[in-house]
A and B are shown apart, each in its own frame.
Chain A
Amino acid sequence: MQAIRSQAFRWLGVLGLVVLTVWLVRHHRRGAEEVREHRPDHHPSHAPESARPSQAKTSSREVQDNTEPALSRRISADAGFFAGDAPAADRQARFDALRAHLLRADSAAASAAIRAYLSSGNDVVTGLAFRVGGEGALDSAPSMRVFLLDLLGSIDPPAALDLSRRVLESGNSADEYAIALRNLAWNDSGGELTGELRQGFSAMLAREDWRAEAADGFLEALDAGVLLRDEDSFSRLLDLNRSALDSGGAALSRACFIALDRIVEADPGMLEMFRRDPGLRDRLTPDQRASLLSRLDIRRAAHQAILTEYLASAQDSGELDYFAAIFPNGNRFHVNRLFSPPNPVMSIADRMEADRVVLGELGRIPLAVGSPGEKAVKVIRERLGESLERADAGK
């Protein structure tokens, strides 16, 4: 009896192991492709990108050959790599490694090797995006030419300037054009190249094919307008915005708006153009108009006048509602920039002080009783008042 029971237990154990094994194998194989998404509520999911990067392996004892032939061979080898079908993560690792290698190399040799490639007429699509890093240089580039033109700007600025002028003249590629403009800006030490930069920027904005394509380089080069920060560039960006909206290019308009907003944040005086030429406001959507005008500094008399007129004339109640919710605008874009320096950040203390002044000045804006403008000012005063009261109460 005991032997039968013992045997039964053994069979049960075997059966249990079999079931467990089968379950484990099936569980391990289960699982559809993961769909990666942003994590707020109510967002759609999108297709994931490729697999994990393989770590770029370099010998810890690698001795860098700094001669031009060796660097040229390296560039060619990496161009060959990019022409293949490696996954995106590996491409990025290769890009980073080549960039670091050339930056470390002897500048004269690296410059010669780069210029040799750029004058060869060859090019290879890297499969990477046009992405600006934190210092105005590229974190990734869509082609070898764009990559090397960008790097030349760091390695040999005078040579980069010469080459860039030819690129600007030929105007074959929006991405290359963007980097060529950037190299021009980097070589502009005392304003002697500002006119050329302005001309190049205007020419870029006038390119209908590039506006329609809205390539990443073109979009990032809108930042040149922020560097120039003059009325001509501001006006041209407004024109571009209108043109984009009229042709269904809402996306381009959004990028345009970033540049416009950053110009106004750095220099609110630019908003006085709206007073001199009210027609400029029509180059913006109601929301864009509200957002730009939310940067009015009503400590200035001229801006008080603009605000008064805006509140009295705004047609769209949605526009005024949005304006009242964000004026005075305490938000800012923090952008990796090809051209412009970062806008100064107002400290919390300074912002608070500015809000107090605005609260006082708002009381002096003449508005018709019961008008939409008056209601908007009431909302603003309540909002600002509440946050300042809370701050004063030390809550």
Chain B
Amino acid sequence: MFHPLRVSHLFWLAAALFPASASAAKIFYSKPSLSKQSVGLVQSKVDGYWYRGSGTVAYDPKLIVSCGHVYYDSGKWATEYTFHRAWHAKGYPRRSQGVAPRGLSYFTSYVDACRTRGSESNAAFASDFTVLYGYSSFGTAAEVWDNSATAIRSWSRYKEIVGYPSEIDYTGASGACYQHSTGWFTYGAYQLRGRYHEFDDVSTGPGNSGGAIFIYQSSTDKDLFTGVLVSGARRMAGVVALDASTRSLADSSLGAKLSSRAFRNDNPVVLPDGGESFSAVSIPVSGVSGTVSKASLGLSVDAGSGELEAYLRSPGGKIRWILKKGGSLGKPSNTLDLGESFAGVPADGEWKLFLRDARGGKLATVRSTTLTLSSASR
């Protein structure tokens, strides 16, 4: 005889199992969808072989952000490449239907350059992107959200991956040359290394390299371009989040003028007389977009008969000597040009000036320090 309690047991069992499976529901390209006008198909020829990838017009109509490995391989630059914005058709476009970028900035390292086709490591993926530029407009640029890594990792932010897979990993279907979109999903990515993140249970397909990840920003009701797809498998997608270095590169390509901001510490610091250790003066910097181009340091010191030694340290640890033993500040208040000593360094963070009064006799007091940082910005 049928026992109703067993039915309910099975029901609860199924109900318990189903949510677990539902949470493993895959995000993939279910059908072609022309979702973003700023994303396009890329065709590139490297060392005689044609490759396809994806790219996004971003920062400016004359700039495209894409992955790196479609444009440089085994020591050779791509010799032909064209961008076909918002291409959405079964077949490949003719070259004349696209716009050829003039050149590119290819992110790499000495170590990665050694490997054919780039190392398949997290560190290599983290630098696998490119900013291409052209003399003509590629189309309307997507708005960019730099430093969006936190949002990429969030499980509440809506995200969308867009690109041109030649094959849909998850289903095996052909992507032809149609644009595809995952649609909005809220999975959060895991940070693997620096700007490189991976999504579980999100998949795209080969050919999607350089594709875009957009995040919906509810405060502005905008879809913002935040990263580049650089790797993937049937159940994962790897993306590189945009940050200060891509912004700086974009700004420099566009000939952005340098703008300067000064950060000051007026707390006087009395240096131990003839001290062996250095005293640290903190100079917090915030709100500077991009990376440093030039720097200068203003110092106001009562040195007495002291002999100052000083070096400046960036938030990431790079140092530059300001004054060495036997050197002189010149005047009690002076501005020292540090030139491009810190060029390429992200500006925001805690800078530290380390000082020592190397000769005993009279106390030296640092009255104020002013760090002025110039960065390219528009």
Contacts and interface: CB of A to CB of B under 8 A. Distances in A.
A129 interface: yes
A257 B113 contact: yes
B51 interface: yes
A325 interface: yes
Interface string A187-207: 101100000000000000000
A106 to B, nearest CB: 8
A5 interface: no
A24 B14 contact: yes
Interface string A230-267: 00000000000000000000011111011100000000
Interface residues of A, number: 104
Given A154-B313, A336-B127, A38 B110 contact: no
B140 to A, nearest CB: 15
Contact of A326 (B52, B77, B209): B77
A164 interface: no
Contact of B20 (A28, A45, A187, A325): A28
Contacts of A14: 2, 6-7, 10
B105 A39 contact: no
Contacts of B108: 258, 333-335
A134 B80 contact: no
B152 interface: no
A171 B6 CA distance: 75
B31 interface: no
Given A151-B317, A251-B115, A40 B135 contact: no
Interface in A380-395: 386-388, 390-391, 394-395
B176 to A, nearest CB: 12
B210 to A, nearest CB: 8
Given A40-B53, A135-B345, A325 B79 contact: yes
Nearest to B318: A135
A351 B102 CA distance: 9
Contact of A20 (B14, B123, B192, B280): B14
Nearest to A52: B190
22 contacts: A14-B6, A17-B11, A20-B14, A21-B14, A35-B233, A37-B232, A38-B120, A39-B163, A39-B210, A39-B231, A107-B277, A129-B121, A135-B345, A139-B123, A153-B319, A222-B110, A335-B109, A344-B252, A345-B252, A347-B253, A347-B255, A348-B135
Ranked 7 nearest A-B pairs via Cβ:
A330-B103, A347-B255, A189-B321, A391-B135, A325-B79, A154-B317, A39-B209
Interface of B: 2, 4, 6-7, 10-11, 13-14, 17-18, 20-21, 24, 49, 51-53, 62, 67, 69-72, 74-77, 79-80, 99-100, 102-111, 113-118, 120-123, 127-128, 133-137, 163, 165-166, 190-194, 204-211, 229-236, 238, 245, 249, 252-255, 276-278, 280, 291, 311, 313-314, 316-322, 324, 340-341, 343-346, 354
Interface of A: 7, 10-11, 13-14, 17-18, 20-21, 24-25, 27-28, 31, 34-49, 52-53, 89, 92, 103, 107-108, 129-137, 139-140, 151, 153-154, 157, 186-187, 189-190, 214, 216, 219-220, 222-223, 251-255, 257-259, 285, 287-288, 291, 322, 325-326, 329-337, 341-342, 344-345, 347-352, 355, 386-388, 390-391, 394-395
